[in-house]
Amino acid sequence: MLRVGGVLETALYVKNLERSLQFYKAVFDFAVIASEERICALQVADRQVLLLIKEGASVRPRATPGGTVPGTDGSGNLHLAFWVSASELEEWERWLRERGVAIESKVTREKSGESFWLQASQSLYFRDPDGHVLELKTV
Amino acid sequence: MLRVGGVLETALYVKNLERSLQFYKAVFDFAVIASEERICALQVADRQVLLLIKEGASVRPRATPGGTVPGTDGSGNLHLAFWVSASELEEWERWLRERGVAIESKVTREKSGESFWLQASQSLYFRDPDGHVLELKTV
């Protein structure tokens, strides 16, 4: 059985690339791997990249010397969760408030199964400039 | 400086949850962590979950005993990339064809910088049942 190694790129579609880039740099300190007019790539962790894609700018397939990259686009309030250490969640809350990021809600979950994902956890929810739903969840 | 550990959850919005679940199980063999009428959670890797969310079913905030989970929704042809071993890319291509998944394009990229993300790579692009743009990229 073939298995992928993991999620390499996850994408959010944004109205103003510069505004989003500033937000993700200020809040998460992600390193900027690539920054173009149409797309930015931010390093979240080892082998994990967050793509910020300007809405409507990548709809059509793009021919490159190495082949054609299919078009992509999206809208709505997409969801993206990052994991954080449980011991740091309070610091994160303070950190977000200091940067003017409103905490929309806090959620406590009880253990509901054996998977790591179903263990007891706490989450902070807040929005990015486009209204995408970001979550910091303890693991 | 606080740092997140990584991307824990990335979400795709789908028209038919059962159809998507079958696709992701058949193509990627992801384990199903949770399966409800509104949402499925699939384990991609350690601390990496792919959420399949039924379009339009999670728009409103959802009150839970532990707090309110904000609403989320999305549409379009979202992009999601997984990394695979370079030595397995040919096997992946055969594997996809055997399962009736059409390869939309192949892209070869030359090294364009020092970041792991900018090294020489090869990608296979194909679609999930909702037309989301999936990529297998070698690292």
* pLDDT tens digits, B58-101: 999 999 999 999 999 999 999 999 999 999 999 999 999 999 99
Looking at the predicted complex, does its ipTM rise above 0.90? Answer: yes
Mean pLDDT of the region A47-73: 97
CB contact under 8 A, B79 and A47: no
Radius of gyration of chain B (CA): 17
Give kind and range of the element (H or E) at residue B52: strand B48-54
pTM score = 0.97
DSSP string, A61-108: -EEETTEEEPP-EEEEE-EEEEEE-GGGHHHHHHHHHHTTPPP-EEEE
Q: A47: pLDDT confidence band, cut at 50, 70 and 90?
A: very high
CB contact under 8 A, A76 and B80: no
Q: Give pLDDT, residue A34.
A: 95
Q: Give pLDDT, residue B112.
A: 94
Mean pLDDT of the region B110-132: 97
How far is the C-alpha of B12 from the C-alpha of B39, rounded, in Å?
Answer: 10
- Two tokens, residue A30: 């992600």
Q: Give pLDDT, residue A106.
A: 98
Query: Helix, strand or coil for residue A5?
Result: coil
**CA distance readout (Å), B55 to A20, A53, A78, B60, B73:** 25, 21, 11, 12, 6
Radius of gyration of chain A (CA): 17
The nearest CA of chain B is from the CA of A86 a distance in Å of 11
Q: Give pLDDT, residue A109.
A: 97
Of B11, B44, B82, the CB nearest to A78: B11
Q: Give pLDDT, residue B1.
A: 80
Of B67, B72, B125, the CB nearest to A133: B72
pLDDT in tens, A54-66: 999 999 999 999 9
* Dihedral class, residue B6 (left if φ above 0, else alpha if ψ from -120 to 50, else beta): left
A1 pLDDT higher than 90:
no
Average pLDDT across chain A, whole number: 97
